[in-house]
């Protein structure tokens, strides 16, 4: 198995999933979050593509994504924008499992990698997938009980 082709396909599949989910929701905030996640998957694809070509690539983490998502949720709370489809929770749970599996994949690749630069990139990708898991856990909580979730102060830690 070519790990790079496998990883790139994971990222393509993830991007398509998030874009599909974006088209299935009417909530502007969730649309923005899903677009950011799709963009992140495209970025991961490009990083892996460069690695596959044996080129040195720099990986810049999406450091502001969690902060941006927190801001989106804050705006949704202020505007009382809680128009969501509860049935979407199952899709987000599926995505959460996929992201957790991707994180595990990247951690395993990092353990196997001898080149320190590539190892670091795999670890960074694993960290990005962990952040996606945090986002999805919060999205599941939000779509399951939007009004209660927005009022619960526990989600405020998103940018930490």
Question: How confident is the model over 80-99, as pLDDT tens digits?
Answer: 666 666 677 888 898 899 99
Rounded distance between C-alpha atoms, residue 72 and residue 7, angstroms: 29
* Inter-residue long-range contacts of 22-31, CB under 8 Å, 24+ positions, other chains counted: 24/85, 24/88, 24/91, 25/84, 25/85, 25/88, 26/83, 26/85, 27/76, 27/81, 27/82, 27/83, 27/84, 28/81, 29/72, 29/73, 29/75, 29/76, 29/81, 30/84, 30/139, 30/142, 30/143
Q: Quick: pLDDT tens for 91-122.
A: 889 889 999 999 999 999 999 999 888 899 89
Domains of the chain: 3-155 (1.20.1260.10)
The answer to whether residues 34 and 25 touch, using CB atoms and an 8 Å cutoff, is: yes
What confidence score (pLDDT) does residue 105 get?
94
Higher-confidence residue: 65 or 157? 65
Q: Mean pLDDT across the stretch 1-22?
A: 89
155 band by pLDDT with thresholds 50, 70 and 90: low
More confident residue, 148 or 64: 148
pLDDT at 156 over 60: no
């Amino acid at each position: 198995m070519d790990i790079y082709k496998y990883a790139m396909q994971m990222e393509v599949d993830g991007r398509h999933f998030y874009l599909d989910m974006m088209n299935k929701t009417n909530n502007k905030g969730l649309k923005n979050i899903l677009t950011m996640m799709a963009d992140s998957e495209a970025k991961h694809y490009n990083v892996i593509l460069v690695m596959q070509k044996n080129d040195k690539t720099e990986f810049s983490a999406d450091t502001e994504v969690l902060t941006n998502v927190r801001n989106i949720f804050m705006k949704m709370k202020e505007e009382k924008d809680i128009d969501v489809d509860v049935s979407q929770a199952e899709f987000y749970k599926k995505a959460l499992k996929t992201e957790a599996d991707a994180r595990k994949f990247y951690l395993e690749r990092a353990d196997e990698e001898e080149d320190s630069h590539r190892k670091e990139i795999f670890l960074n990708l694993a960290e990005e997938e962990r952040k996606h898991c945090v986002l999805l856990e919060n999205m599941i909580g939000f779509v399951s009980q939007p009004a209660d979730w927005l009022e619960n102060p526990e989600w405020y830690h998103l940018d930490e």
